[in-house]
Amino acid sequence: MPETKARVELLAHTPDPLAVIYAAFRQCYYAGEAADMWPELLAGGIPREKQADFVRSTIASGHASPIEHVTFTFAVSGVSRALTHQLVRHRIASYSQQSQRYVDASNMDYVLPPAIAANPAARERFERFIAEVGSAYADIKALLEADGRGSSAKEDARFVLPQAAASNIVVTMNCRALLNFFEHRCCSRAQWEIRGVARTMLRLCRGVLPEVFEKAGAHCERLGYCPEGAKFTCGRYPLPGA
């Protein structure tokens, strides 16, 4: 039952994302049809920098709905069920997650929290528990199979699996949903595992579409102050009125 680490890969994104957003924004203020300007956009008739300036200024004005037309799809693997339970709370998204009903977890990968890894006694107890879980899962599955449950035995045996059990998931979000996701999950108060995944996703998004994501990140990075209050602030940004 090996320890695993998170891996985030960008599988796909909307082709010509800046042009799509520019056309969508322009349609809101343009008497003509977006379809008529599309060939000119693809041919380079409207310089990228002009598109970028228009998109930046319009987003800054508070008009953000047209960025929903562009989506990013990520493969996130080697993460815990604790992380995916947090991830799927972001509801303006599509998810396809590895199923514990169908995937045999007898030799499951697991995620080891850094704080436990750094404490020898805690690590020894954690790894002993993981081994116990693996043994219990295998025993229960075998007993249920012998009782006639067949391949369905896994769906009941999975009830012993911990939140540390590794999982793989594909997630698709539009740009507006991603900005909201980054505001919450890049914050220093976010749980360490999902914070690491969010920061990797942000780096990948910036590489494709900096015009939208160059100022994305924790809520404080956009606001210029910490909205968490004196009790929870990390001190990176001042509190309101400070």
pLDDT at 228: 85
Q: How far apart are CA 109 and CA 81, in angstroms?
A: 11
Please name the residues in contact with 68: beta carbons below 8 A apart, sequence gap of 6 or more.
174, 175, 176, 177
- What are the C-alpha distances in Å from 161 to residues 53, 55, 132, 234? 50, 46, 10, 34
Q: What averages of pLDDT result for each successive group of 10 residues across the chain (242 residues)?
A: 93 97 90 89 91 91 92 98 96 95 93 98 98 96 94 94 97 97 94 97 97 92 85 86 68
Given 3-state DSSP classes, what are the helix, strand and coil percentages for the chain, each rounded to the nearest 5? 50, 15, 35
Distance (Å, rounded) from C-alpha 214 to C-alpha 211? 6
CA 110 to chain centre: 19
Query: What local confidence, expressed as pLDDT, does residue 241 receive?
Result: 72
- In the sheet with 71-80, reading across from the earlier edge strand, the strands are 7-13, 71-80, 166-174, 93-97
> Catalytic residue among 89, 185, 189, 199, which?
185
**Residue 185 appears among annotated catalytic residues:** yes
User: Mind listing the pLDDT tens digit for each residue in 142-188?
Assistant: 999 999 998 899 999 999 999 999 999 999 999 999 999 999 999 99
Query: How many Å is the Cα radius of gyration of the chain?
Result: 23
